[in-house]
Amino acid sequence: EAGVAQSPRYKIIEKRQSVAFWCNPISGHATLYWYQQILGQGPKLLIQFQNNGVVDDSQLPKDRFSAERLKGVDSTLKIQPAKLEDSAVYLCASSSAVEQFFGPGTRLTVL
């Protein structure tokens, strides 16, 4: 069974630029999550999808972050414009029930 795929693995941008991350969940998993993990901290949920609907986006900075999950399968997370404090690892996870399966993450560095 293929795992959760994410790309790119690494991204370096300058502040005020835009960036997008892609996630392909495990086939058949209805729930998809995006987390932000800042160095030295635990993952923080940004947004949770159930199929292609948003279940929780209470911690998503909506003035600069956006996410979509078209057709209830893969998803993209966008930051526009990026700030220095957005430097972090962005993790995607999917689940069909209780257990979450995580992708390898995208490490974003904002200079």
Partner 1 sequence: AQSVTQLDSQVPVFEEAPVELRCNYSSSVSVYLFWYVQYPNQGLQLLLKYLSGSTLVKGINGFEAEFNKSQTSFHLRKPSVHISDTAEYFCAVRDSGGYQKVTFGTGTKLQVIP
Enumerate residues 80-99 that contact partner 1 by CB under 8 A: 91, 93, 98-99
To partner 1, the closest distance from the beta carbon of 14 in angstroms equals 23
Token pair 């160095």: residue: 39
- Which one, 70 or 98, has the nearer CB to partner 1? 98
Among 76, 96, 102, 109, which residue interacts with partner 1 (rule: CB under 8 A)?
Answer: 102
- Which one, 14 or 55, has the nearer CB to partner 1? 55
Enumerate residues 37-56 that contact partner 1 by CB under 8 A: 40-45, 48, 50, 55-56
- Which one, 12 or 55, has the nearer CB to partner 1? 55
Between CA 92 and CA 107 the distance in angstroms is 12
Binding site for partner 1 (CB under 8 A): 4, 31, 33, 40-45, 48, 50, 55-56, 91, 93, 98-105, 107
